[in-house]
Structure 1
Amino acid sequence: MSLLCVQNLRIAYPHSPSAAKLNWAVDNVCLSLDAGERLGLVGESGCGKSTLGRAVMRLLPASTHIEGRIDFSEKSVFDLTPAQLRHFRGEAVALVFQDPMTRLDPLMTIGQHCLETLKAHQPLLSQQQNKEKVIETLEAVEIPASRWFQYPHEFSGGMRQRVAIALALLLEPKLIVADEPTTSLDVTVAAQILRELTRLCRERDMALLLISHDLAMVGEYCDRLAVMYGGQIVEMGATSAILQQPQHEYTRSLLEAALHIQAVSSRDQKNPRRWGDGENFQAPIDRPLLRVRNLRKYYSLESNFLQQLLTKENKLIKAVDDVSFELYPGEVLGLVGESGCGKR
């Protein structure tokens, strides 16, 4: 018995009344997902991936035209009452958004976000039980309890995405839909986030629907792959089979693009000091447009009451530490680094 079963699903968004026919964002899609299984849904921007993910949670506008079926645990998602739907979202299926700031309230601390979620779905738990469960979940995604009272803007992009994953895990759903969860993150942090997400799903026997445009990345973490193009699933099967012997031309093009990027990356690693074969010329402009000298920006992380008694000082975070650079007119300077390194 499949946990999630999508049958002949077709979805069209509201359009002009004068339009002669519907434009299907999702066209005759069929797929299934078993308990504890990890399925990667891959395709280019605009192919219908996110529409399909939101349809699973019934998050599409009421005016959306939908045909076909989506069954979860052998019950139709489209037949759920408002009360049933409230429990279904979060307790049965949880969504991890691409941008965690769309999920987080800037006026609430991380601890308040988690407590609010628990109180809404499990009102019978005591305050102490709520707090213990929140701390346990935050630590599972490697967020220390000392950051309980911090706000979203005090977290890096990678840490905010960890918070979003913690919120998804809090109610122990059977399925997590992760819609491009690492697009805004650098490659090293993205890999860490995906490793932790798949590990947590495996340990808790949760199914995962991982939506992405990156075939190679998804292939590393999923049991099966479904390749989507033009609103349709053009190829689906075991990850190893699709990566080694892709059948559809679009799948082959995605794989070739991924291999080309990896080849370029490998070349740069072999020649880390190779900047090009052309000649170098001194810029005629002597005065920089922007000059930064020995820039420092430190943040004081407020300790909780017990830490203040023991250490009597707040923890200092060096966001920017002794940075110097110059920018000349007409010059393009790239500032590169992992999430949380101090770029912004």
Structure 2
Amino acid sequence: MNPLLTVQDLHVQAAHRTLVRDVSFDLRAGETLGIVGESGSGKTVTARSIVAMLPEGLRASGTVAFDGIPLLGKRERELRPLRGTRFGMVMQDPFTTLNPLQTTGEHIRESLPRALQRSRSTAQAEVARRLAEVGLDPADIAKRYPFQLSGGMRQRVAIAAALAGDPELLIADEPTTALDATTQAEILGLLRKLQTDRGMALILITHDLRVTFSVCDRVLVMYAGSVLEDAPSAAMTRAPRHPYTLGLLLAEPPVSHVVARLNSIPGSVPLADEIADTCAFTARCEWARPVCSAGRPSLTVIDGGRSSACLRIAEIGQEVDVRQTTLGEPATSAPVNAGDPILTVTGLHKVHRTSGLGGRARTTPAVADVSFEVKQGESVGLVGESGSGKTTIARCVLGLATPTSGTIRLGPLDVSDPRRLTRSQRRQATQLVQVVFQDPYASLNPMLTIGATLGEALTAGGGGTVAELLRQVGLPAPYARRKPAALSGGERQRVAIARAIAVRPKLLICDEAVAALDVSVQAQILELLREVRRTQGTSLLFITHDLAVVRQMTDRAVVLRRGEVVEAGRTETLLDSPTHPYTASLVASVPGGQPEAVNRAHGA
């Protein structure tokens, strides 16, 4: 079968800077190709080059041919008949790609072939069919606006719009990164089903290797703008043929057991121009030798259609295989010597009240009768899908929202109603609890230097210096002079943690603190939080939808569904032997989950 898509020697440049270099691959109809790598590796730029949607100022060269049609260098009017009808794209955040002033039905109608738009009744029938195809009720969804939908629903609408023209190729760029486990599984299952039903080619861009291996036939591993390995998924999972691929695999936290230390790749991804004449991974590779720096290795076929850009893979292949099987072995678990409760939540209720049509008040229960506690030195996870009430609980604990009823105690302090706290009590609460949010860039003042931000936190209490704080979170002292925009995502999250621990809080709330990070950076941040807990005795309330993170970071877990607690207990018990069907469904949603536990929960 001839390739549907051919990419040969693709280069992408921005002014005098190279972003992508020498990327080549073929894709056939019905095949799924995964493109993985850390941020800055060139994944999204490669995808946008394929569909000729590069931002202004970026220029692509080389060959990109779709069904024999060259795409690079074509004018916009020549590409317009191809986009949407022959190839389409789904982005990470559908909310930014959907027009907030248009209903979902209008979005899909506009994406239909012109012939189907001419008749109103035909167009309405097609819109209904497309919504039903992605698992949405047309009667309910077609008239809604994007802001009235959940994240998973918006992503389904974006997929329906991208497929409305019946494309032969769909490119999905991080389509499930911001979604909870069950919604992620639903979206991936939907993409796979649609691909099978339509015989469509699919390119999936993601930094989640579990997702990649569960969906893709083949995987390209990109690094610093180049492809370092190209192999079938099953073969790459079994035996990676590049040290960088091994590093990514080992950095994935296992969902099946706790490891003594989470593995990460030291350093960061360099700029493509910095490694133009050497092996891209040399500076971070433990197997690097002088020969690796003598020239830039090309992607070379090594066996069974697999390709690697490692010069030494024939020499070190056996060591790589051994390393993959020996690292990540289970840690010996010891009982936690937890002290008195630092956080006690009892009978918490929270109802949101909004104005409905005609000015009538509308109430939406967010949390219903939730009770749990976090003891001194303990780590507790709050687990559940989007809308389960996790963040609402955190906001109530932090005093950012007032419970409708119930009590919240931080040590000896009753913080149930933040409006009744004195100034002294508010200061005491601030020193008892701090928070690390998902997006550190949004929570750091972009106008202040890192030193100024941390200096403000130190003034609030705790003592010490900015340099000591930076050292604690693994950042050099000169970073104090930088602003947030000059730091990577992982570095900004380290600064956010440094600011939170500056007052030496008894409790640290982590609200999806690693959800948006690359797998290697995620491992570094999780190890940092483990160290904070170990050295300072800080309790953790870990809010996440990632069950692998729950396994690694918590002693106990509370499972929430629609604002209610459905199961709570030791983390290992919940994940290995869930008793509630909902908990079992969460476990089953993780690629490579534990079907035996799920069967037990359902009585199979």
TM-score, normalization by structure 2: 0.48
C-alpha distance 235-125 of structure 1, shift in aligned 2 (>3 A): same
Letter in 1 for 2:125: E
C-alpha distance 252-118 of structure 1, shift in aligned 2 (>3 A): same
Question: How far 1:323 moved relative to its partner?
Answer: 5.0
Q: Deviations over 1:154-203 (max 9, x none)?
A: 11111111111111111100100000001111122111111111110111
Question: How far 1:253 moved relative to its partner?
Answer: 1.1
Structure 2 distance, partners of 1:340, 1:112, is 32
Equivalent of 1:294 in 328, 331, 349 = 349
Q: Is 1:243 paired with 2:237?
A: yes
SS at match of 1:220: helix
Question: How far 1:322 moved relative to its partner?
Answer: 2.7
Structure 2 distance, partners of 1:118, 1:301, is 33
C-alpha distance 128-247 of structure 1, shift in aligned 2 (>3 A): same
C-alpha distance 56-294 of structure 1, shift in aligned 2 (>3 A): same
Structure 2 distance, partners of 1:321, 1:36, is 44
Q: Which residue of 2 aligns with 1:128?
A: 121
Q: Deviations over 1:82-113 (max 9, x none)?
A: 22211111111100000001111111111111
Letter in 2 for 1:64: L
Question: How far 1:294 moved relative to its partner?
Answer: 2.5
| Contact 2:348–2:367 under 8 Å retained in 1 | no
| Contact 2:35–2:220 under 8 Å retained in 1 | yes
SS at match of 1:105: coil
Q: Deviations over 1:50-85 (max 9, x none)?
A: 000000111113432322111111111024332221
Structure 2 distance, partners of 1:265, 1:172, is 44
- Structure 2's unaligned 5+ residue stretches are 261-332, 371-392, 398-409, 411-428, 434-508, 510-540, 547-559, 565-604
Structure 2 distance, partners of 1:186, 1:265, is 21
SS at match of 2:80: helix
The within-5 A match list for 1:88-99 is 88-99=82-93
Q: Which residue of 2 aligns with 1:8?
A: 9
Q: Which residue of 2 aligns with 1:142?
A: 135
Identity %: 34
Question: How far 1:293 moved relative to its partner?
Answer: 4.5
Q: Is 1:320 paired with 2:366?
A: yes
Structure 2 distance, partners of 1:55, 1:138, is 29
- Structure 1's unaligned 5+ residue stretches are 15-21, 268-273, 303-315
The number of residues matched between the two structures is 311
Q: Is 1:73 paired with 2:67?
A: yes
SS at match of 2:72: helix
Q: Which residue of 2 aligns with 1:85?
A: 79
| Contact 2:117–2:123 under 8 Å retained in 1 | no
SS at match of 2:6: strand
Equivalent of 2:184 in 161, 170, 190 = 190
| Contact 2:90–2:162 under 8 Å retained in 1 | yes
Structure 1 distance, partners of 2:103, 2:124, is 14
Q: Which residue of 1 aligns with 2:109?
A: 115
SS at match of 1:101: helix
Question: How far 1:128 moved relative to its partner?
Answer: 1.1
Q: Which has the larger radius of gyration?
A: 2
C-alpha distance 334-292 of structure 1, shift in aligned 2 (>3 A): farther
TM-score, normalization by structure 1: 0.81
Q: Is 1:279 paired with 2:338?
A: yes
Letter in 2 for 1:78: L
Q: Which residue of 2 aligns with 1:309?
A: none
| Contact 1:296–1:323 under 8 Å retained in 2 | no
| Contact 1:298–1:320 under 8 Å retained in 2 | no
| Contact 1:137–1:170 under 8 Å retained in 2 | yes
The within-5 A match list for 1:191-340 is 191-258=185-252, 260-264=253-257, 277-283=336-342, 293-297=348-352, 320=366, 322=368, 327=397, 328=410, 329=429, 330-331=432-433, 332=509, 333-336=541-544
Structure 2 distance, partners of 1:275, 1:176, is 48
C-alpha distance 68-107 of structure 1, shift in aligned 2 (>3 A): same
Question: How far 1:24 moved relative to its partner?
Answer: 1.8
C-alpha distance 36-97 of structure 1, shift in aligned 2 (>3 A): same
Highest RCO, 1 vs 2 (Cα 8 Å, sep ≥ 6): 1
Letter in 2 for 1:143: L
C-alpha distance 87-106 of structure 1, shift in aligned 2 (>3 A): same
SS at match of 1:113: helix
C-alpha distance 250-317 of structure 1, shift in aligned 2 (>3 A): farther
Q: Deviations over 1:108-152 (max 9, x none)?
A: 111111112227x44663111111111111111111012211111
Structure 2 distance, partners of 1:275, 1:38, is 43
| Contact 2:366–2:563 under 8 Å retained in 1 | yes
Q: Is 1:55 paired with 2:49?
A: yes
